[in-house]
Structure 1
Amino acid sequence: MPQHDPRIDAYIAQAAEFARPILEQVRGVVHKACPEVEETLKWGMPSFVYRGRILCGMAAFKQHASFGFWQGANIVGPDGRKGEEAMGQFGRLTRLADLPSKRELGGYVQQAMALIDAGVKRPTTKSAQPKPPLAVPEDLAAALKKNAPARKTFEAFPPSHRREYVEWIVEAKREATRLKRVQQAVEWLAEGKHRNWKYMQR
């Protein structure tokens, strides 16, 4: 019987409607291909661990979901498949048809397991260029300037955590929504919280 982490149940339940079937299918394929897998949350996102090491992980965002293997370069090639489009190796997932077939995906899971069994480490690619940091929007910068604890947290965050806040704010389609997000971001940052802190509370 698969071991399901209730925090991941909650994560999927809170995801956008389009993302839920994608996350559920990925979860089912991973458990079927790797009965020993354990579920957990890492960096606020659902992750699957095999024999103490990260096997793969998935995430849901406002307009897409993502899925990837920790050793993706050793499994689906050094360039991934659509790694430039989103986290993971499969690009921006917006519907089930964006995923490989269950059989293909299960095969990737088994390859990832074999790499862990063989003690292969995650490859380091010196040539890989990190994403350039996003410019902090003027409205967020101004709000942070007025709140020292929030500014201190934001500046101490790794680039990935800062990017989560910046993308959330700039994705707002209405000015009122953007203003509300800036205010919410400053409030959370003042409390030392990262953008997806809610998923860590389950």
Structure 2
Amino acid sequence: MEEKHIWDKTNQWEEELEYLKSIIIKTELVEMVKWGAPVYTLNNKNVLAIGGFKNFFTIWFYNGVFLKDSKKVLVNANEGVTKALRQWHFQSKEEIDEKLVLSYIQEAIENEKAGISSKPAKKEAIVSEFMEEHFKSDMALKKAFELFTPFKQREFLEYIETAKQEKTKISRFEKIKPMILEGIGLNDKYR
């Protein structure tokens, strides 16, 4: 059985990815394996990574949105969702211009040193009048709810507030009330 590399989804880009690695190691970046892929860091901050997919192999820059991209080679792999990450796709080893790749990597390193990076946007607090009414009449429920982390509180509030009809809010509340009282998060069974 042929060895399968997690970072090469189709196991067809080994030579090409090794070539990219040989370019990256000429820099001060440190290779680590995260999420099953080679990730290159500077002071433990993710700068770039490489991987192979069905139709291409790629180098991606975690804060690629800040690169000048004078050759217009970078793409947003998930428009509307991905904020800062940008990918550079290749279909063959011959497409790799070592000097150009190194210039993009150096710029990414300089940006990291300068602290130029994208910070996740703070989510707006969810206000649930429905839940507030229940907390007023049930202090045990309120106390149990407050024991959850802000993230888990948000999951419950979103669950209630995304219901379009009052009867749905009520049925959802009936489902989560015992969970809250028992200290079970909405999505704990999936974690």
**TM-score normalised by length of structure 2:** 0.48
**TM-score normalised by length of structure 1:** 0.46
When Rg is computed on C-alpha atoms for both structures, the one with the higher figure is 2
Q: Which has the higher helix share?
A: 1
- Which structure has more RCO (C-alpha within 8 Å, separation ≥ 6)? 1
Q: Which has the higher strand share?
A: 2
